[in-house]
A and B are shown apart, each in its own frame.
Chain A
Amino acid sequence: SQKIEQNSEALNIQEGKTATLTCNYTNYSPAYLQWYRQDPGRGPVFLLLIRENEKEKRKERLKVTFDTTLKQSLFHITASQPADSATYLCALSNAGKSTFGDGTTLTVKP
Chain B
Amino acid sequence: DTAVSQTPKYLVTQMGNDKSIKCEQNLGHDTMYWYKQDSKKFLKIMFSYNNKELIINETVPNRFSPKSPDKAHLNLHINSLELGDSAVYFCASSQDQGLGLYEQYFGPGTRLTVT
In the bound complex, residues from chain A placing their C-beta under 8 Å from that of B44 are 100
A49 within 8 Å of B (CB atoms): yes
Instruction: Enumerate chain A residues within 8 angstroms of B4, measured Cβ to Cβ.
Output: 43
B residues near A43, Cβ cutoff 8 Å: 4, 90, 92, 106-109
**A72 near B: Cβ within 8 Å?**
no
Interface residues of A, count at CB 8 A? 23
Q: CA of A34 to CA of B100 in the docked complex: distance in angstroms?
A: 11
What is the interface of chain B mostly: helix, strand, loop, or mixed?
A: strand
A96-B31, A96-B56, A97-B56 as given contacts; A46 in contact with B104, CB under 8 Å: yes
A96 with B106: CB separation less than 8 A: no
CB of B107 within 8 A of CB of A96, answer no
Indicate which residue in A31, A32, A45, A98 contacts B45 across the interface (CB closer than 8 Å).
A98
Nearest-Cβ distance from residue B63 to partner chain A, whole angstroms: 22
CA distance A67 to B86 in the complex (A): 37
CB <8 Å contact, B48 and A97 = yes
B101 contacts which of A32, A38, A97, A102 (Cβ < 8 Å)?
A: A32
B interface residues (Cβ-Cβ under 8 A, vs A): 4, 31, 35, 40-45, 48, 50, 55-56, 90, 92, 97-98, 100-101, 103-109
Q: Could you show 7 A-B contacts with beta carbons less than 8 Å apart?
A: A42-B108, A43-B107, A44-B43, A44-B106, A96-B31, A96-B48, A98-B45
